[in-house]
Structure 1
Amino acid sequence: MEIIVQKGDITKVKADAIVNAANSSLLGGGGVDGAIHRAGGPAILEACKKIREKQGECPPGEAVITTAGDLDARYVIHTVGPVWKGGGHDEANLLRKCYENSLALAEANELTSIAFPNIATGVYNFPKAKAAHIALDVVRNTTSDYLKTVYFVCFGEDNYELYLKA
């Protein structure tokens, strides 16, 4: 499995799936969540509403898959990162589950490529270096019959440098 770290806009990545750092409502928000919903158009929101009707909100650490609407990707995998509360509230394990559950959905759908943003490092305040190590550790320890390429798409220079170092 090839790991590619790049700086840029995840909504422009051509991969089988891009991962959305969603909020529990799945109805869009700020940051990468809002950017994906805007770029993908109304089909993503409609798919998220159907998921909410079936299961309610998406708890931290879990992931769901929808159409990618107008994006170059085939799917969007929405995962909810943990809000950082100092590290004593299982935040690291919940972030690990975001990556594991997203990769499991990719495997279940026989995807060959997936692109991750820097989950929970924006308004959720997860420490960026710690998040990078968790993300890379999960991907490096994942075996897959289908996945060939995993992208880490960093919007900011600080995350980009942290991923390159890690």
Structure 2
Amino acid sequence: MTAGHLPDEVRNDSDEPLNTVDALVQLSFLVQGVLTRVAAAHDLSLVQVRLLGILRDRRPGMLELARHLGLDKSSMTGLVTRAEKRGLVLRVPSPHDGRGVLVSLTPAGRELAEEGGAEIDRAIGELAQALTAGERAQLRALAAKLLAAAPAGEAGRPPVR
């Protein structure tokens, strides 16, 4: 996707450079648009895509998932229940806490997470084609620095383990 394909609300039609806030917010809209389109193509919500992404490399408990997604306990339970009914996740008893439950991907959930992840990688990769290799490296470094500076437990930022 090129700048010519951006929705009007994320275009900067003037010659003035965007300020930092506008640039980051508009970039966020662009990335959220990619995630939303991939989610819709697989009959998933954006939060379900985030859930599958989190579960690709870990088996967290419900509380950790809720913190990671910025959800309350009842919303988290509903989200996992819906994903479980679709055969994407399963709950297993925690080996360390008799009352705790861990959530993991089923084979179907893993396949969907990998497929959706590949689609997201391709779409974001297309966006990044406008940058040189050096600019992409700089963008990764700056994004990592901003993420590292964000408070632990913020929605989208994993809690400290």
Q: Which has the higher strand share?
A: 1
TM-based fold match above 0.5: no
Larger RCO, structures 1/2 (Cα 8 Å, 6+ apart):
1
- In the superposition, the TM-score normalised over structure 2's length comes to 0.28
Q: Which has the higher helix share?
A: 2
In terms of Rg, which structure is larger?
A: 2
